[in-house]
Structure 1
Amino acid sequence: MPIEISAQCVKELRTMTGAGMMDCKKALQETNGDVDKAIEHLRQKGLASANKKSGRRTAEGLIESYIHAGSKIGVMVELNCETDFVARRIEFQELAKNVAMQIAACPQVEYVDITSIPSNIIEKEQAIESAKDDICNKPEKVQKQIIKGRLEKRLNELSLMNQAFIRDTDITIEDLINEKIALMGENIKIRRFVRFLLGEGIEKSEQNFSDEVASMLKS
């Protein structure tokens, strides 16, 4: 049975290595909490170098599309890398397809990551949480803690990078991207995406069947 690893230990290892949260947790569990061995473990897997590449320019890549069964949901996503060589790799193309499918499967997701969420949206979500009836009678300090936790949860729901990967729920999309950065040796970024939902924004007329029958009988 894996040993229990604190969130603080995971956070510290991630800061030191730049590896994904779940990768850090697994590394600590497999090395019984030994940080030095965990760092070595991540380096052997090529997961400790993603942070070194995160600032490098990504001007190549591809635009991937996905149409869900029934043709009622469609997605387009731009996935960037550093070179055209990597953009042509099957692993990169598979990553783009997986990201597009992830977006289709997550209707609440609206932004690439939390840093992309506009401040006015964050303020709006905070106001919504602050106005909920179930916290009105609680002490102010408790209210702030509850609002903070709920706001964090809501922002995670809006962020693509914070979603659990649909093909492996033990990792997030951020972890998946970091794994591919380590594998391909280049910085990789999800730049933008758009989701199409059939009929979205169109007011649909509701036909009252009984009224229609009554009208036909009168004519």
Structure 2
Amino acid sequence: MAITAAMVKELRTKTGAGMMDCKKALTESNGDMEKAVDLLREHGLAAAAKKADRIAAEGLVYSYIHGNGRIGVLVEVNCETDFVAQTDNFKALCKDIAMQIAAAKPAYLKREEVPAEVLEHEKEVLRQQALNEGKPEKIVEKMIVGRIEKFYKENCLLDQEFIKDSDKTVQQVVTEAVAKIGEKIDIRRYTRYELGEGLEKRNDDFVSEVMAQAK
């Protein structure tokens, strides 16, 4: 059965689970809405979404320094209690997020933080690219929508592919952690430092280096 955007939206409204999780549940249940709800509940994702309105004011400011001292990350990850903040599971999540930032260099935390002028500039560049490729104007706008999604996935931390599992986004990893840990978790802010950033220097494959340390 074809899974429509309307079906995904309905399931998301019912459960509060993420869009990709809803689509996956509907696919697995062959479009059966009630079975999809049960699948999300079984995985703890519906319950995790219900924690979204709770206050998360505890947590950690986690620091990660790449092994050769060329990259440093500070990230604030919030949870609801200091007890959870000191658990191994929460610290492991903080480390994974910090390593993600070090390796993938996201420009923004989430898509809502992308400035309107940046988004409009990107759309115009993409529009001209599509026209230069000889695409008909009537489909250019549809192409731009798809390419802007790619922009979000490359530049927004929560939309990025998780470096340890490309089948998941960082947001999905956080959502799964909420279900496992039992508290609301937010990535609040981060700063990434790169030695000599802005100066002329050789290019390094930092993703490979960071992943090598993660093994």
Same fold (TM over 0.5): yes
Given candidates 134, 147, 150, the residue that maps to 1:150 is 147
- The separation in 2 between residues aligned to 1:7 and 1:189, in whole angstroms, is 29
SS of residue matched to 1:128: helix
Given candidates 85, 108, 111, the residue that maps to 2:108 is 111
Given candidates 33, 46, 49, the residue that maps to 1:48 is 46
- The separation in 2 between residues aligned to 1:166 and 1:7, in whole angstroms, is 29
1:69-119 Cα shifts (integer Å, max 9, x gaps) = 322122111101121122112111111001011111213x11111011111
| Correspondence for 1:100 | 98
CA RMSD of aligned residues (A): 2.3
More helix by share: 2
Given candidates 76, 87, 101, the residue that maps to 2:85 is 87
| Correspondence for 2:188 | 191
Counterparts of residues 16-27 of structure 1 (less than 5 Å): 16-27=14-25
Moved over 6 A (4+): none
Matched, 1:172 2:150: no
C-alpha spacing 1:32/1:150, structure 2 compared with 1 (3 Å): closer
SS of residue matched to 2:68: coil
| Correspondence for 2:72 | 74
- The separation in 2 between residues aligned to 1:49 and 1:154, in whole angstroms, is 30
Note the C-alpha offset of 1:133.
Answer: 6.7
| Correspondence for 1:182 | 179
Contact 1:112 1:192 in 2 (8 A): yes
C-alpha spacing 1:133/1:29, structure 2 compared with 1 (3 Å): closer
Give unmatched runs, 5+ long, in structure 1: 205-219
Bigger Rg, structure 1 or 2: 1
- Aligned partner letter, 1:102: Q
SS of residue matched to 1:132: helix
- Aligned partner letter, 1:167: K
- The separation in 2 between residues aligned to 1:7 and 1:194, in whole angstroms, is 38
Name the TM-score, length of structure 2 as normaliser. 0.82
Note the C-alpha offset of 1:158.
Answer: 1.2
Matched, 1:131 2:128: yes
Q: Percent identity?
A: 50
Name the TM-score, length of structure 1 as normaliser. 0.80
1:20-48 Cα shifts (integer Å, max 9, x gaps) = 34433443344343221121122122210
